[in-house]
Amino acid sequence: MHNRSGSWLLLILTLVILATASAVQTQSLAEIGGLRYHQHENFFRLVLELTRVREYSSAELSQPDRLYLDIYQSRLNPSLHGKSYEFNAACVRQLRLAQRNPSTVRVTFELQSGTKEREKIYYLKNPDRLVIDIYHQSTLQAVEKPAASGKAPATTVSQPPRPASPTVSGYSLVRQLGLGVKKIALDPGHGGTDPGCLSRSGLKEKDVALDLAKRLKSILETQGGFEVFLTRESDVLLPLEKRTKLANERQADLFISIHLNASPRKTRTGVETFYLNFSPDPAVNELAARENASSSKNIRDMKLIVDKIIKNNKYEESRALAEKIHHQLLGHLKQHFGPRDNLGVKGGPFWVLIGSEMPAVLVEVSHLSNQKEEEALKTDFYRENIATGLFRGIMEYVKSLGKGS
């Protein structure tokens, strides 16, 4: 626990760091400066011209059918802000571009209902460009029609597809190289003179986190066959920056930091999961300030800290790991203990995740500030189910790499 003035000071410091980071980050963003498109016989192609390669993720939605692509650490050239294009194509009927947040560009394809067969997304080099091919189920030829809301680029892509560079394809290098998971680092939050959150009855976050980590370690070893170690085995104070350093030194493949949440809203329940990134959400930044309170770093270290967050090259895999752990844990707790709040998977500037050489996440598994969850956390049964939910999330991630069964 920390006094109110200290918490406010830490919050202000975090906001100062984020403001500084915003200026530094802007300089490192890839700019999407132009686009070209063409309707081939069997697929629609969009080419985005970028100043440098960046990670991305894609997903499909229905009602209406659409495919969207989020390109991280990037920004749109002002000439492309809010642009949309209409098509009379076999599969694609509209394309929209938007700056989803200061560091993420979203490209949305509105699709003709039921016509999409598959998509292929890959990078090409010299110059850097991202290619999205959307294949349709029919081989009918379609004609492009520019939208009134945006003048369509005149140049089309005529060259055939070329193999993507092995280091810049849409799959992260972890997946391209067929890498798996052998060793896992579990990080019980807080410890020693840093108790973390306290419940009304005196339950300490540091004690519950350590117990959960030990339970999860046992399941991972016996059921998963992994090699597992804890950053702390007892009630000792371990500096935040040393936790990922220890994971790096012992060559862990995954890093999972286990925490308990607290909220002024006592009815709040559920699971909240984080990966390393900046956040525009004041609630996330306040939580980060609370979790980062025991850091030994000073203001003079700010540039180094910001650079490490910006250059985090495990972003995509950390996000994927966070999503799978979050949904498995939340679903498991809902199934056995009733409704829980889905507080989401989010990026956040958490010190304990900075500098990791492997995918790293921080999981807030339940709320010590909620009376029902506090009482449940006092029982072995509830703790064992939390460990099981975390295990299932880890296993789902491992399987997504094409490993495990």
Q: Which of 170, 199, 222 is the last residue before a domain boundary? A: 170
**121, β-bridge pairs:** 132
pLDDT digits (tens, 9 = 90+) for 333-379: 999 999 999 998 887 777 778 778 889 999 999 999 999 999 999 99
Looking at mean pLDDT, say which of 145-159, 166-180, 247-261 comes out highest: 247-261
pLDDT at 285 over 60: no
| pLDDT value of residue 306 | 46
Say whether both 125 and 260 belong to one domain: no
**Any domain includes 17:** no
Q: At what angle do helices 380-400 and 315-337 cross, to 10 degrees?
A: 140
Structure tokens at 241: 């920056």
- Report the alpha-carbon angle 236-240-243, nearest 5: 80
**Any domain includes 5:** no
- As a whole number of angstroms, the distance between CA 170 and CA 157 comes to 19
Backbone φ, ψ for residue 375 (5° rounding): -65, -40
- As a whole number of angstroms, the distance between CA 348 and CA 339 comes to 25
- As a whole number of angstroms, the distance between CA 277 and CA 301 comes to 17
pLDDT at 179 over 70: no
| pLDDT value of residue 7 | 57
| pLDDT value of residue 244 | 87
Q: What is the pTM of this model?
A: 0.56
Q: Where are the alpha helices (DSSP H) in 106-167?
A: none
Length of the chain: 405
Say whether both 148 and 193 belong to one domain: no
| pLDDT value of residue 184 | 97
Q: What is the CATH number of the domain that holds 127?
A: 2.60.40.3500
Say whether both 193 and 311 belong to one domain: yes
More confident residue, 299 or 196: 196
pLDDT at 311 over 80: no
Q: What is the mean pLDDT of the chain?
A: 79
Say whether both 115 and 231 belong to one domain: no
Backbone φ, ψ for residue 50 (5° rounding): -120, 155
| pLDDT value of residue 154 | 38
| pLDDT value of residue 170 | 44
Question: Contact 244/186 with Cβ under 8 angstroms?
Answer: no
pLDDT at 279 over 50: no
78-117 residues labelled b (16+ CB within 10 A) or e (exposed): eebeebebbbebbbbbbbbbbbeeebbbebbbbbbeebbe
Say whether both 37 and 80 belong to one domain: yes
Give the three-state DSSP class for 253.
coil
Say whether both 389 and 271 belong to one domain: yes
Nearest-10 Cα torsion for 222, 227, 228, 231:
160
Say whether both 134 and 185 belong to one domain: no
Q: Which of 106, 135, 170 is the last residue before a domain boundary? A: 170
**Any domain includes 232:** yes
Q: Given CA atoms 270, 58, 79, 312 in this order, what sign does their dihedral have?
A: positive
High-pLDDT (> 70) share of the chain, %: 73
Domain boundaries, position 160: 30-170
pLDDT digits (tens, 9 = 90+) for 27-39: 578 899 999 998 8
| pLDDT value of residue 59 | 79
pLDDT at 147 over 50: no
**Any domain includes 253:** yes
| pLDDT value of residue 20 | 52
Say whether both 137 and 234 belong to one domain: no
- As a whole number of angstroms, the distance between CA 61 and CA 74 comes to 23
List of E strands, 102-206: 104-111, 116-124, 129-136, 143-144, 183-188
Neighbouring C-beta atoms of residue 378, cutoff 10 Å: 12
Looking at mean pLDDT, say which of 92-101, 297-306, 382-391 comes out highest: 382-391
Say whether both 123 and 204 belong to one domain: no
Say whether both 145 and 185 belong to one domain: no
Q: Which of 115, 135, 170 is the last residue before a domain boundary? A: 170
pLDDT at 227 over 50: yes
**Any domain includes 159:** yes
Give the three-state DSSP class for 229.
strand
**Any domain includes 165:** yes
State mean pLDDT over 269-278: 85
pLDDT at 146 over 90: no
Number of domains in the chain: 2
Q: At what angle do helices 282-291 and 4-28 cross, to 10 degrees?
A: 120
| pLDDT value of residue 204 | 96
Q: What is the CATH number of the domain that holds 251?
A: 3.40.630.40
Say whether both 126 and 185 belong to one domain: no
Start-to-end CA distance of the chain, whole Å, equals 43
Neighbouring C-beta atoms of residue 52, cutoff 10 Å: 13
pLDDT digits (tens, 9 = 90+) for 101-113: 888 899 999 998 8
| pLDDT value of residue 249 | 94
Residues 6+ apart with CB under 8 A from 69: 56, 57, 58, 106, 107, 108, 121, 132
pLDDT at 300 over 80: no
pLDDT at 155 over 80: no
* 30-39 β-sheet, strand order: 74-76, 30-39, 43-50, 129-136, 116-124
Question: Contact 169/123 with Cβ under 8 angstroms?
Answer: yes
**Any domain includes 396:** yes
Question: Contact 342/270 with Cβ under 8 angstroms?
Answer: yes
**Any domain includes 12:** no
Say whether both 348 and 279 belong to one domain: yes
